Structure 1
């Protein structure tokens, strides 16, 4: 599926923070809410949603990403992105939800878990799955470009961003067995650069600092949330390495884990069938 097809099947939703792209489909419940990572979009899940066993689903492009509005200047925050998820669910979903979160989306998910613990979540959340996200940042291996974007040279690096540089960097996240394809690279750049999004990469990486500042809250949510939480992990990930997964296991020893051997940071793109099978197991879709 190309970007235009994905776009044409969705719509823009006005939230308090700005207009965001959402795409959804009816089906059995609870609704699977898909939360993407940095620097990509809900397009990452295009081959997963058709493998969810007839479940209703909702995919969202976070503010600043994909086909959503990309305001500047703006303070992009995981708390605001969590607010957007709650608004999108309220506008789209009837009934309870489950979360399937990747990369940056895992921190949005853990904020939603924390709100559920606090009794402040505005929707009913039944279970969640975290996939290849550096929730425990000190155990991750950030790419050099991520470190640059976080620092004082971040604005310069964002201004110099271009398609060849992006394609080279993005390709490093894929395993040798499932390399980044030319068509995937083209689609990802189209979405990243939509509305000049590649120029705000330094603003979007603010979530990494929030992962440090709010680690106690979000690690505590992984540990203490009293509903089913699973981990779905490509074990050849060079960023959210198995060390991150081991840290999550230590926080939540009873969690069910599905490892995807040989898959990199984007397992849903490298092997959508294996990723979807793991998601169905952890979300209890095959048994519902």
Structure 2
């Protein structure tokens, strides 16, 4: 598998992102992750086309925990296979399993959003014993039903665009205005289009028929979450153009989520961590401490 490694100078002077670099090996490639603080483990997984930069605002608020945020292959500071066909659900899931094994992560509070949910919850479905709590931000668990036209258009756009406009996607899916410096940070991992195969692949990996190999993982995740007895927090935003309203799916699915206070992050789009990171982190802190009202 041929891959590229983003030059380190692309990541100089990013706003509010001055964390130590950490890496684990997987199939001769380097997977980068942020690992800050000490205490109970929080594992935060990003989606498309973001990276661990998305979680930078969580870390100061959650400084009494060990906060871990990896970059999936093809994103952030992790290595990037060149051929978008090399990316598939199993590849990403195996790399996530390798990551958790190498770091010996247990008793995890899992935080997921977007594709971080498809992978993180898929992984939770396989290894529920690793996890102590789950925090579900804007995401879904598709099981191969027919996709709606807007999403099909998004798949075609991402697949055939000559150089996916990463920061433009972040900007479009956000509710408020983002600074040029922040948008540039989302572009930083991609010096040119050859580095964007992972971002190009993710939308087309969403299961669109029942025979998709990822469907069995989505089904298993739904089954595990439907009987989840550990703490769960569903926390969506109110201005999400992509997955708005799907919080109801998780609250209906999970008895543990129905027992929790219903919360909504106001005036934030799909990338709610970017727009309301400190607020979300405050809720997560209270959730872990058992201080959220029921």
Task: Give TM-score scaled by structure 1 length.
Answer: 0.80
Aligned residue among 90, 95, 103 for 1:84: 95
Question: What is the count of residue pairs matched by the alignment?
Answer: 271
- What are the ranges of 5 or more consecutive residues in structure 1 without an aligned counterpart? none
Partner of 2:23: 12
Post-superposition offset of 1:181? 1.9
Gap change, CA 1:169 and 1:95, over 3 Å in 2: closer
User: Which string of whole-angstrom CA distances, capped at 9 and with x for unpartnered residues, describes residues 210-244 of structure 1?
Assistant: 796414223223213332222111121111101x1
Gap change, CA 1:80 and 1:127, over 3 Å in 2: farther
Partner of 2:253: 251
1:46 aligns with 2:50: no
The answer (yes or no) to whether the contact 2:142–2:206 under 8 Å persists in 1 is: no
Distance 2:135 2:37 in 1: 21
The answer (yes or no) to whether the contact 2:49–2:170 under 8 Å persists in 1 is: no
- What are the ranges of 5 or more consecutive residues in structure 2 without an aligned counterpart? 1-9
The answer (yes or no) to whether the contact 2:19–2:34 under 8 Å persists in 1 is: no
1:173 aligns with 2:173: yes
Gap change, CA 1:219 and 1:38, over 3 Å in 2: same
User: Which string of whole-angstrom CA distances, capped at 9 and with x for unpartnered residues, describes residues 145-186 of structure 1?
Assistant: x534534x75431x243xxx44443222111xx222211111
Partner of 2:182: 184
Dislocated runs of 4+, deviation >6 Å: 137-143
1:135 aligns with 2:141: yes
Task: Give TM-score scaled by structure 2 length.
Answer: 0.79
Distance 1:42 1:211 in 2: 30
User: Which string of whole-angstrom CA distances, capped at 9 and with x for unpartnered residues, describes residues 3-51 of structure 1?
Assistant: 436476113321137321112024112x111101111101100111221
Distance 1:7 1:140 in 2: 42
1:21 aligns with 2:32: yes
Post-superposition offset of 1:106? 0.9
- The alignment's C-alpha RMSD in Å is 3.2
Distance 1:81 1:211 in 2: 19
1:156 aligns with 2:160: yes
Partner of 1:71: 81
1:226 aligns with 2:229: yes
Gap change, CA 1:286 and 1:61, over 3 Å in 2: farther
Distance 2:187 2:136 in 1: 25
Q: Helix, strand or coil for the counterpart of 2:124?
A: helix
